[in-house]
């Protein structure tokens, strides 16, 4: 289970999001997730990690840059 995120940001269509989490070593980790919806999950849906790859940066600001770029690519907002 992950710690509470410092920042959460959603793509324009709310189909993807990222969370920034501060790690014990002082670095910041970006988790990118995709919303899964179906008739059984209802409107809220379920958030699933998009990959097993972690994006780790030295500052929260850089983590935001990485997360924003990933959202732009995934949601087609380039």
Q: Is residue 48 part of a domain?
A: yes
How many domains does the chain contain in total?
1
Confidence of residue 34 (pLDDT cuts 50, 70, 90): confident
Q: Is residue 2 part of a domain?
A: no
Domain range holding 33? 7-73
75 vs 26 pLDDT, higher one: 26
The strand pair at 28-36 and 16-22 is best described as antiparallel
5 vs 52 pLDDT, higher one: 5
Q: Is residue 26 part of a domain?
A: yes
The whole-model pTM stands at 0.77
């Amino acid at each position: 289970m992950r710690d509470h995120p410092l920042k959460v940001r959603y793509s324009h269509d709310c189909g993807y999001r990222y969370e920034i989490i501060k790690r014990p070593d002082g670095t910041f980790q970006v988790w990118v997730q995709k919303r899964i919806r179906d008739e059984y999950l209802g409107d809220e849906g379920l958030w699933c990690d998009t990959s097993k790859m972690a994006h780790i940066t030295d500052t929260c600001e850089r983590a935001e840059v990485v997360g924003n770029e990933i959202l732009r690519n995934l949601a087609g907002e380039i």
